[in-house]
Copies of this chain bind each other. A is one copy, B any other.
Amino acid sequence: MTEVGVGLIGFGTVGAGVVEALQRNGDVLAQRLGIRLVLRGVADLDLARDRGVTVDPGLLTRDAAAVVGNPAVQIVIELVGGLTAARDIVLEALRLGKPVVTANKALLAEKAEEIFGAAAERKVELGFEASVAGGIPIIRAVREGLVANRIVRIYGILNGTCNYILTRMERDQMTFEHALKEAQAAGYAEADPALDIDGVDTAHKAVILASLASGVPVPMAAAHVEGIRGLPKADIEYARGLGYRIKLLAVIRHDDGGLEVRVHPTLIPADHMLASVSGVFNAVMVEGDLTGPTAYYGRGAGRLPTASAVISDVAEVARTLVGGARQRVPVFTRPPGEVRLREIGEIETRYYLRCSLLDRPGVLGRLTTVLGRHGVSIASVLQKEVHAGRHVPVVIVTHPARERDFTAAVREIDAMDVVGAKSLCLRIEGFGPEK
């Protein structure tokens, strides 16, 4: 049977998963591919740690460049992460004409033009199924399964850490801080959770999906990003009372007017499919103009689910190598200038607004007058507690409004003498065509 040599750079959690999966399912895979994938080198700075899998010690090295340069290595798997060493490894492999498979969403999102450009220039394949939504074959679905469609909208729950925290906050009435501690204790959140809870990791993935949907490399700067850090428990409760759950949602909309990419805590109807995605699971809804809504669900992270995605790319690349063809599906098909990136001020959506108002006659009227003057129309108002003469929370749900009008109204509201603490604003996604 034809053999294809694979070099693994980065022998951490996912790297060990790749080794384990190749050992466990190598025979099935060889049957399916007609090709045997053979590990020809494994590089990591830490050679001592026990990963729970056994690798021929002769394959292990601290020298990544030696593995990349090894003539017996035909495909390079980059699982180092980050933007520095990983970048060098990927670019060097591509320079040598070796296909690369990576799970590095940060690198692909932050250096899209450089990395995809290098791959395109040398006509070398770059697999990145594992970079978005772990074990869910979402990249393949968008690039190949829906290839005949204009991708109109994508909604994603793409960060298991945030979804775990939000699930615990909702189900167990925890504060954000408490739920974060639980996530860290369960191994679902890093000691420094910033990348996750500030929405940056979700934005990396959203930018990759937006690039695929639009056909142009979308810069990270085009994404509007808000995380869930410090989200008040009270708003999860109020949202629930209104028939919503709060999820950290990536929203991508693409039409003739442009492309919008945003990540923020979002109220979604409790009976919507995405609302039932709980814990560390991920889900992505992709709407094509031909298919209508489609959805994909599964584990978005973890040793073996992510290894499954990595190996699916290695398998695809190996087939192409053996078949003699090169870079069968170009990633970017349109010049960057062809797609207009929409500013956050331009978007239209519904809003959840919680204000702290002095409980005095006429105050609510003044607030609604301000909203009205900015063209923001109110769908419902909820006043939870009444304490005459004190500040009370008032929750307002709006009809679709333009972001810049809404924020101008809120700025004016927050400057009012009858308003206490700064208002809290969240966006609502109804998944209808109108918003």
* Contacts from A to B (Cβ < 8 Å): 17, 21, 24-25, 28-29, 31-34, 129, 135-137, 140-141, 144-150, 215, 271, 273, 276, 288-299, 304-305, 307-309, 311-312, 315-316, 319-320, 323-326, 328-330, 333-334
Contact = CB atoms under 8 A, between A and B. Distances in A.
Contact of A295 (B292, B297, B333): B297
Nearest to A302: B292
8 contacts: A21-B148, A137-B141, A137-B294, A140-B140, A144-B312, A291-B299, A292-B298, A294-B297
A308 B129 contact: no
Contact of A324 (B33, B215, B324): B324
B308 A149 contact: yes
A277 to B, nearest CB: 8
A299 B34 CA distance: 33
A305 B329 contact: no
Given A34-B330, A148-B21, A323-B328, A297 B273 contact: yes
B308 A298 contact: no
Contact of A136 (B129, B144, B294, B325): B294
A329 B32 contact: yes
Given A146-B137, A308-B146, A290 B32 contact: no
A324 B17 CA distance: 34
Given A135-B294, A299-B291, A145 B150 contact: no
Contacts of A325: 319-320, 323-325
A298 B293 contact: yes
Contact of A148 (B147, B215, B289, B312): B312
Nearest to A139: B145
A291 B311 contact: no
A298 B140 CA distance: 16
Contact of A291 (B32, B150, B305, B328): B305
A21 B137 contact: no
A294 B292 contact: no
A25 B151 CA distance: 11
Given A25-B149, A308-B149, A288 B329 contact: no
A307 B31 CA distance: 31
Contacts of A24: 289
A324 B323 CA distance: 8
A308 B320 CA distance: 24
A31 B215 contact: yes
A291 B308 contact: yes
Contacts of A271: 276
Identify which of A147, A271, A276, A323 gathers the most chain B CB atoms within 10 Å of its CB.
Answer: A147
Nearest to A304: B290
Contacts of A323: 320, 323-326, 328
Nearest to A325: B323
B294 A298 contact: yes
Given A290-B305, A295-B297, 18 more contacts: A25-B149, A28-B215, A29-B148, A31-B215, A135-B291, A137-B140, A137-B141, A145-B312, A146-B308, A147-B312, A273-B276, A276-B276, A291-B298, A291-B299, A291-B304, A292-B304, A294-B299, A320-B325
